[in-house]
Amino acid sequence: MRITDILERTVPISRYSERSMPSGGLDTSAVAVVTDVIKDGAPITGYGFSSIGRYGQAGLINERFAPRLMAAADTELGNEGGDNIDPFRAWTCMMSGEKPGGHGERCVAVGTLDMAIWDVAAKIAGLPLYRFIGEATGTAPRPGPVPVYASGGYRYPSDDISRLRDEIRSLLDQGFTHFKMKVGGAPLSDDLKRIDTALACLPNSHHLAVDAM
């Protein structure tokens, strides 16, 4: 059970649905973790990315963490049965030789790879990711739909209130029932208007969370 390749690409990513709106120079690392497990004639591959509102982590991924995974022996990454990658062992491998307590520097790089490793392990097991995580951590997965919320609500450079309202309505149309929006980047009076706008679109305040920047 080996990782045969790790591909990283740094790509620009915007906070807005309209590509014409600037991202503020932000980008993200997208990674693909390729294994030696073949399904339907192709290697099973897991994917991860370093989220929006951050910067790509190509340096840390390519210089420290990916090489450790690539150099690991089968027994260092495989689970007890030898039929899948153990994400916990992979994490230990990535962190080998790292300075204790230095997570602020490396957390996004490790997390991006960790996301892809969990993804590929669930695919190898043939399970939905939430079920695989539940079994791996001894936590019984919830039956039925998995509760999620939509995250967004960044300030728009123009027509902010109307665009925010349209964004929330669009997410509601997609089936989301709960929403998290950004606050803290504007005067309090503006943030209160934005919160009132969001609340007017939702059933009650329990459906809204704020993320202070």
Mind listing the pLDDT tens digit for each residue in 140-192? 777 777 788 999 898 888 899 999 999 999 999 999 999 999 999 889 999 99
Instruction: Report helix, strand or coil for 115.
Output: helix
Of the pLDDT bands very low, low, confident and very high (cuts 50, 70, 90), residue 32 is very high
Residues 6+ apart with CB under 8 A from 108: 29, 50, 51, 54, 57
pLDDT of residue 155: 87
In degrees to the nearest 10, what's the CA dihedral of 124, 129, 130, 135?
A: 20
Contact call for residues 177 and 205 (beta carbons, < 8 A): no
Share of the chain above pLDDT 90, in %: 72
Q: Between 19 and 90, whose confidence is greater?
A: 90
Length of the chain: 213
| pLDDT averaged over every residue in the chain | 90
Confidence of residue 114 (pLDDT cuts 50, 70, 90): very high
- Quote the pTM value: 0.78
Cα gap 102→67, rounded to integer Å: 19
What's the rounded Cα separation, in Å, for the pair 1 and 69?
12
Which pLDDT band, with edges at 50, 70 and 90, does 15 fall under? low
pLDDT above 60: residue 130: yes
